[in-house]
């Protein structure tokens, strides 16, 4: 397959690294719940669809299995996901190896397999924290791969398994139209497409489709035939609008805090009007249509993920605010400066506390999609 797009210089927006109360490592329990909830589904996917014989033999190096976790951040969720994948593939390999022991000419399965795991995120990700947190008892080789997953990261046909959790709702960039005061899609007074006009929503939707197609094209080049890809993607139910979900409404609420601060002269109104979050939550039907435009993957499974910890984490006011701050503070600091962060999130905290919508578990209606793709021979 000829490469049409190589390396992408996407906007960088890593989670909070380092130390302190607002770092991602301390405020990612919601994402942890999704990783844990997907464990059995990943085990079933590998058991049913991962053919160690064919997949290993199609790689450039025999008896080596290459895994990649894209959008790994600083841990610990990436290590949970990788360990689960590693254990299941190892077990599957050992079982298939035993079936071939009676074949004297099958020398490949008499050699121990080596597992190499690649941890990927933006160049500005805190890889130091990630590497310091690597499990000391791990039985796989580990390496960091900085760069945007919207473009190429690995050689052709070099990966057997790709995992990506809570990352694909991030866009490679904010749609240019929503920041252009002369465009019908100018998103003045808002920082997201929630409750915005149809032109704004379309600009975001088009950017998401472009980014997803780029992501899929790059992975199609990097995965071996028969290789698997598991994606955990935050989404919006088909029957709901973004304004009906907590994911969309909390971004709208945060934007209203910035507008209030602009009116008080605490931040520049011009900066607020030209700032938008590079995040988009697709519906299941929208995502399925995009994936089907790429002929190199078959959808083996796509369904809503049941996250039992969903209702235990975010309804708590402090956890919700810390969760959002860990994810967005770096992006907001870059635009408005570090000195207003406490004021901004204090205001956000007060507005969330006054909202019965956010703290009611019945309104936690955003979903996460479990998507299993398999690399086709074409």
Residues 244-252, mean pLDDT to the nearest whole number: 84
Q: Rounded to an integer, what distance in angstroms lies between the CA atom of residue 284 and that of residue 13?
A: 25
Q: Rounded to an integer, what distance in angstroms lies between the CA atom of residue 358 and that of residue 32?
A: 20
Look up the pTM and report it: 0.89
Span 325-338, pLDDT tens digits: 888 988 999 899 99
Q: Place 314 in a pLDDT band, splitting at 50, 70 and 90.
A: low
> What sign does the dihedral 18-20-24-26 (CA atoms) show?
positive
Residue 365: which of 200, 202, 238, 198 has the closest Cα? 238
Residues 236-248, mean pLDDT to the nearest whole number: 82
Burial of 140 (0-12, 13-18, 19+ CB in 10 A): middle
Q: Rounded to an integer, what distance in angstroms lies between the CA atom of residue 214 and that of residue 368?
A: 21
- Asked if the model's pLDDT at residue 253 lies above 50, the reply is yes
Q: Place 241 in a pLDDT band, splitting at 50, 70 and 90.
A: confident
Q: Which domains does the chain have, with CATH numbers?
A: 25-375 (3.40.50.150)
- The 10 Å Cβ neighbour count of residue 373 is 26
Q: Rounded to an integer, what distance in angstroms lies between the CA atom of residue 296 and that of residue 163?
A: 17
What proportions of the chain, in percent to the nearest 5, are helix, strand and coil? 45, 15, 40
- Asked if the model's pLDDT at residue 17 lies above 90, the reply is no
Residue 257: which of 175, 355, 365, 183 has the closest Cα? 355
Q: Place 306 in a pLDDT band, splitting at 50, 70 and 90.
A: confident
Span 262-304, pLDDT tens digits: 999 999 999 999 999 999 999 999 999 999 999 999 999 999 9
For the chain, the C-alpha Rg in angstroms (whole number) is 21
Q: Place 310 in a pLDDT band, splitting at 50, 70 and 90.
A: low
**Rounded percentage of the chain residues whose pLDDT exceeds 70:** 81
The separation between the first and the last C-alpha atoms of the chain, rounded to the nearest angstrom, is: 8
The DSSP letter of residue 180 is -
Burial of 120 (0-12, 13-18, 19+ CB in 10 A): buried
């Amino acid at each position: 397959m000829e490469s049409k797009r190589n390396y992408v210089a996407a906007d960088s927006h890593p989670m909070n690294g380092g130390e302190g109360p607002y770092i991602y490592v301390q405020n990612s329990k919601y994402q942890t719940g999704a990783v844990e909830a997907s464990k059995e589904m990943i085990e079933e996917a590998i058991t049913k669809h991962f053919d160690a014989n064919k997949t290993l033999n199609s790689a450039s190096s025999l008896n080596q299995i290459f895994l990649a976790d894209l959008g790994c951040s600083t841990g610990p969720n990436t290590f949970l996901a990788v360990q689960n994948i590693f254990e299941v593939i190892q077990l599957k390999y050992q079982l298939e190896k035993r079936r071939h022991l009676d074949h004297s000419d099958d020398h490949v399965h008499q050699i121990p397999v080596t597992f190499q795991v690649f941890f990927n995120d933006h160049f500005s990700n805190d890889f130091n924290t990630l590497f310091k947190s690597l499990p000391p008892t791990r039985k796989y080789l580990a390496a960091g791969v900085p760069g945007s997953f919207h473009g190429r990261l690995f050689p052709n046909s070099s990966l057997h398994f790709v995992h990506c959790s809570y990352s694909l709702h991030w866009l490679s960039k904010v749609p240019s139209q929503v920041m252009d005061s002369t465009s019908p899609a100018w998103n003045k007074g808002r920082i997201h497409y929630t409750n915005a006009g149809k032109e704004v929503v379309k600009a975001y939707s088009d950017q998401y489709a472009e980014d997803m197609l780029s992501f899929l094209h790059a992975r199609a080049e990097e995965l071996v035939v028969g290789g698997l890809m598991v994606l955990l993607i935050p989404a919006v139910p088909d029957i709901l609008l973004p304004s009906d979900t907590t994911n969309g409404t909390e971004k709208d609420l945060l934007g209203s805090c910035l507008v209030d601060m602009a009116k008080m002269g605490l931040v520049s109104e011009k900066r607020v009007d030209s700032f938008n979050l590079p995040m988009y939550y697709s519906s299941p039907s929208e995502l399925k249509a995009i994936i089907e435009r790429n002929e190199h993957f078959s959808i083996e499974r796509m369904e809503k993920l049941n996250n039992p910890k969903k209702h235990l984490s975010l309804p708590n006011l402090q956890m919700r605010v810390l969760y959002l701050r860990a994810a967005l503070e770096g992006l907001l600091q870059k635009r408005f400066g570090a000195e207003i962060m406490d004021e901004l999130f204090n205001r956000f905290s007060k507005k969330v506390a006054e909202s019965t919508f956010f703290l009611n578990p019945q309104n936690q209606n955003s979903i996460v999609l479990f998507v299993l793709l398999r690399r086709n021979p074409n």
